[in-house]
Structure 1
Amino acid sequence: MQKIYLLASFLTMSITILTGCAQLKPHKKPIEPLETFVPQNLGAEFQDVEYIPKIKSFVIILDASASMEDVYTGAVNKGHPKFAVAKDILTRMNTTLPEIDINSALVTFGHGFFKPLDKTFVVYELTKHSRGLLENALNGVTIPEGSSPAGNAIKDATNLLLTSGGQNAVILVSDGEQLIGSPLARAQDLKEIYGDKVCLYTIFVGNTAEGAKALRELAREVQCGFSVTADEIASSDDMADFVKKVFLTAIPKQVSDIDSDGDGVYDKDDECPDTPKGAIVDSRGCWVVKGITFDYKKWAIKEEFNSNLSNIVDILQKNPDMHIRIEGHTDNIGSMEYNIDLSQKRAQAVKNYLVGKGIQESRVSTVGFGYKKPIAPNDTEEGRSLNRRAEIVPIK
């Protein structure tokens, strides 16, 4: 009975001590969300140049060892685990890289104390790259644990690239701490096998000078590529610069693909350059009173066409310093003298409408060309109806 009492007392004291320790244990301050990142858009439609891939394939090596669980003391996402910062940097790279025809693979190393020290994991082999592919793979990478066999991961990358031709890149993201697996020797192997067909880029996400030095030495060993820190490529502009250097070659846009005034008609076909933004143009790129046709020998604007003029009114209201010239045209029936007068009346009718909507009269001039500038043959009724038109020309 006494033994039972003593045992009960011991259990009660143990529970009390454990409960007290739990109560005294400080609560961790919640970690703030990762920083918001807005990638620079490198799509061709937003650039003065067109970007094409400079490499055929790339392999990412991500350090998932135990030291990557330590808090990052750098600038970008300070206070978060180094592993979270590393994945965020790769996400920034992934969202900045435009959708181009390129292959990618992902290798990690680390993965637990109860697994072999040289453990690496090929998350996915060389596959046509897409943002979704890498994003999903990064989200599925396990919690960092274990040692840092970076050399074995570089060997994995070397083997993966055997199926790729052309120029290639290996991107190693790590804190550079206690790297094993002879990473320098494996980098030499990479260089010997591929020569100048492969470059090694290292991204340092760490807190020690020794770790940064280790990654710089790896990049130098391959003699192509460079080493950067997470902080150096964290901003939108800096990440875009990194992506351009690693992945892209810039070539001038073909003249045939340039649309300087953004009206939807390429410059080589645009007979009316410098039309204002939002202007409705015809197939020649000329700002027209769209949808309005003048009856034979008439200049009155039919009420059904009033709404078509709202585009011009809207543009003039948004551009108060803009002046325009309205050019009237006709078909070729009748004398030139008669048609000059008729085309002038058509231009004046459009001006009167605009002035009536509040546009200052001094901003609008008119001219009549008669049938001097046809846009369609005058030998059919359809062609003649197209020539009975008005055009708008911005005046600088």
Structure 2
Amino acid sequence: MRKKYLSASFLMISMIILTGCAQLKPLKKPIEPLETFVPQNLDSESQDVKYVPKIKSFVIILDASASMEEEFTGTVNKGHSKFAVAKDILARMNNTLPEIDINSALVTFGHGFLKPLDKTFVVYELTKHSRGLLEDALNGATVPQGSSPAGNAIKDAKNLLLTSGGQNAVILVSDGEQLIGSPMAKAQDLKEMYGDRVCLYTIFVGNTAEGERELGDLAQEVTCGFSVTADEIASSDDMADFVKKVFLTATQKQDIDSDGDGVYDKDDECPDTPQGAIVDSRGCWVVKGITFEYKKWDIKEEFNSNLSNIVDILQKNPNMYIRIEGHTDNIGSMEYNIDLSQKRAQAVKNYLVDKGINESRVSIAGFGFKKPIAPNDTEEGRALNRRAEIVPIK
């Protein structure tokens, strides 16, 4: 009986001690939310330059191995897992990158110890990039587990870029720890296949000097590219600088030809002409080569090759509607010239309809001599004013 009493007393005392220890154990401080990031607006119309892509495609390689679950001891988002910091850095990059015509792909590596050690995962292949595409992919990224076959992921990037011409980029985000799959040899393969057409950029999100050195050596193995740390590109200005270096070329706005018609925007009086349209010095879509004779509106046979350009554009753009605008010199009354300019516009329309263009897609207008493009006090000027122009209707 005494033994039972002592045993019960011992058990009770032990529970009190354990409970007390549990109460004395400090509670783990909750992790603060990820830092707020306000990206620099590289789309701004107020800037003196316009940014255009300098690469056709980029492939992101994201380290999702077990070591990325460890707490990040750097500055940006300190206390969060390295994986959370890595995804946040990529989100900052994604939100800073302006909406440009470029392709992207995402590859991850590290998918659990029960999977093969060389396992990688192509989250999505080269696709027209959008912020939403990458954002959704990052939000759905796997929980970090397993080994770090970075070399195999670099091989994946090399194969993904086979379908992309021009300049391209590979961006590896990792802590650089225990990388396997011969990443240095795979980086050399990347260089041998593409030369300076593919640059390798590494972003170090880790806690060890060895890991940082590993990523730096990888970046140097390829013809172009560089290595940075997450802390070095965390701010709005620093991330904008990174995005410019990797993705963009700055073009002075006065040297920009947005519609590709050969006339700079600053001189273009008719923006948004369709691709392939023949324009004059003002950037306006004209019936090139046709200057009507005095008091005439007939379409001569030698005009046909120039008019076929309009037919070709309309056939390639079946949803496009146009207006043919007729013009005259200033000889004669306005009433007479309005009628003459309408006849000139109608003659062009008749040609297009005869070539199979639905007449509902073509309207006409006559302006007489209201809109001269040259002085009417010389024969050369008057000849230029006897013209027809094409205006796309949105």
Q: TM-score, normalised by structure 1?
A: 0.60
What residue ranges of structure 2 are gaps of 5+ in the alignment? 1-10, 259-264, 270-369, 372-394
Structure 2 equivalent of residue 215 of structure 1: 215
1:115 counterpart SS class: coil
Q: In the TM superposition, what are the counterparts of 1:1-396 in structure 2 within 5 Å?
A: 26-254=26-254
> Relative to 1, partners in 2 of residues 1:256 and 1:244: Cα closer, same or farther, differing over 3 Å?
closer
Q: 1:24 to 1:243 in 2, by over 3 A?
A: same
- TM-superposed CA distance for 1:24, in Å, is 6.7
Q: Which amino acid aligns with 2:99?
A: E
Structure 2 vs 1, CA of residues 256 and 193 (structure 1 numbering), >3 Å: closer, same or farther? closer
Q: Which amino acid aligns with 2:229?
A: T
CA RMSD of aligned residues (A): 3.0
Counterpart code for 1:127: T
1:295-353 per-residue CA deviation (whole Å, 9 max, x = no partner) reads: xxxxxxxxxxxxxxxxxxxxxxxxxxxxxxxxxxxxxxxxxxxxxxxxxxxxxxxxxxx
Give the counterpart letter for 1:80 in structure 2. Answer: H
Larger Rg: 1
Cα offset for 1:117? Answer: 1.1
2:144 aligned partner, one-letter code: P
How far residue 90 of structure 1 moved from its aligned partner, in angstroms, is 0.3
Query: Structure 1 residues 269 and 175, CA, compared in 2 at 3 Å: closer, same or farther?
Result: closer
**Paired amino acid for 2:92:** R
Other structure's SS at 2:221 match: helix
Give the Cα–Cα distance (whole angstroms) in 2 for the partners of residues 129 and 13 of structure 1. Answer: 65
DSSP-derived class of the 2:113 partner: coil
Q: Residue deviations 1:170-200, cap 9 Å, x none?
A: 0000000110000000000111111111000
Tell me the number of residue pairs that the alignment of Structure 1 and Structure 2 aligns: 260
Amino acid at match of 2:218: L
In structure 1, what is the Cα distance between the partners aligned to 2:223 and 2:20? 59
- Name the CA distance, whole Å, in 2 between partners of 1:57 and 1:119: 24
Distance (whole Å) between structure 2 residues aligned to residue 17 and residue 152 of structure 1: 53
> How far apart, in 1, do the equivalents of 2:268 and 2:200 lie?
45
Separation of aligned partners in 2, 1:62 and 1:231:
17
Q: Offset at 1:27?
A: 3.0
Task: Sort the Cα spacing of 1:30 and 1:186 in 2 relative to 1 into closer, same or farther, 3 A.
Answer: same
- CA contact 2:254–2:266 (8 Å) conserved in 1: no
- The 3 A distance-change label for structure 1 pair 256 and 39 is closer
Separation in structure 2 between the aligned mates of residue 178 and residue 269 of structure 1, nearest angstrom: 57
- SS of alignment partner, residue 191 of structure 1: helix
Q: CA deviation at 1:23?
A: 6.1
TM-score by length of 2: 0.60
